[in-house]
C-alpha cells in the first residue's frame, strides 16, 4: 500500500484541482530508471493541471521528487497530451513560457523605487 503513495498523492492533488475529477487517471510503472506516473485528465482541465507557465505541473513534480526521496525512489510525472485542439495548444504555450519567461511588468519597477524611497526615509528617522 505504501508503495503506491506517489500515485495516490498525484490523484488526490489533481482531483482537487480539476473540474472533472472522474476523468483523472494515473498509471504507474516501474523500471530501472525509477517510477513513471502517467497522468491523463479531461482536455478541458489541462490548463489547470499545467498552470501558468507550467508552474502547477512543476510544483507537483517537485513534491513528487520529495516524496520519492523519502521512499528512496526516483519519481517522474508525465502529463499525457489529449488528442487534438485547445488542450494541446495550452500545453505547448506552457512549455514555451517556461523556456522564455516573460519580462517583468513596468509596475514592479515603480514598486521597487517606492520601496527604496521608504527605506531611505526610515533610515533618516532618529530613534
Q: What is the pTM of this model?
A: 0.62
pLDDT in tens, 87-105: 444 444 444 444 444 445 5
Owning domain of residue 46: 2-124
Q: How confident is the model at residue 107 (pLDDT cuts 50, 70, 90)?
A: low
Average pLDDT over residues 23-37: 91
User: Is the pLDDT at 40 greater than 50, yes or no?
Assistant: yes
User: Is the pLDDT at 69 greater than 70, yes or no?
Assistant: yes
Residue 41: CATH number of its domain? 3.30.300.20
**Tally of structural domains, the chain:** 1
- The confidence score (pLDDT) of residue 28 equals 94
Q: Where are the alpha helices (DSSP H) in the chain?
A: 5-17, 46-50, 55-70, 85-99, 106-124
- The confidence score (pLDDT) of residue 31 equals 86
- The confidence score (pLDDT) of residue 96 equals 46
42, 18 contact by CB (below 8 A):
yes
Phi and psi at 84, nearest 5°, equal 80, 180
- The confidence score (pLDDT) of residue 36 equals 92
- The confidence score (pLDDT) of residue 120 equals 72
Amino acid at each position: 500500500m505504501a508503495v503506491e503513495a506517489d500515485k495516490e498523492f498525484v490523484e488526490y492533488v489533481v482531483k482537487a484541482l480539476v473540474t472533472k475529477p472522474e476523468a483523472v487517471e494515473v498509471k504507474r510503472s516501474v523500471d530501472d530508471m525509477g517510477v513513471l506516473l502517467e497522468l491523463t485528465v479531461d482536455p478541458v482541465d489541462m490548463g489547470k493541471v499545467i498552470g501558468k507557465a507550467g508552474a502547477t505541473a512543476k510544483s507537483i513534480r517537485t513534491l513528487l521528487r520529495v516524496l520519492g526521496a523519502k521512499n528512496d525512489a526516483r519519481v517522474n510525472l508525465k502529463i499525457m497530451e489529449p488528442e487534438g485542439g485547445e488542450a494541446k495548444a495550452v500545453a505547448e504555450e506552457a512549455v514555451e513560457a517556461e523556456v522564455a519567461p516573460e519580462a517583468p511588468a513596468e509596475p514592479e519597477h515603480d514598486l521597487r523605487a517606492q520601496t527604496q524611497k521608504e527605506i531611505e526615509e526610515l533610515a533618516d528617522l532618529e530613534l
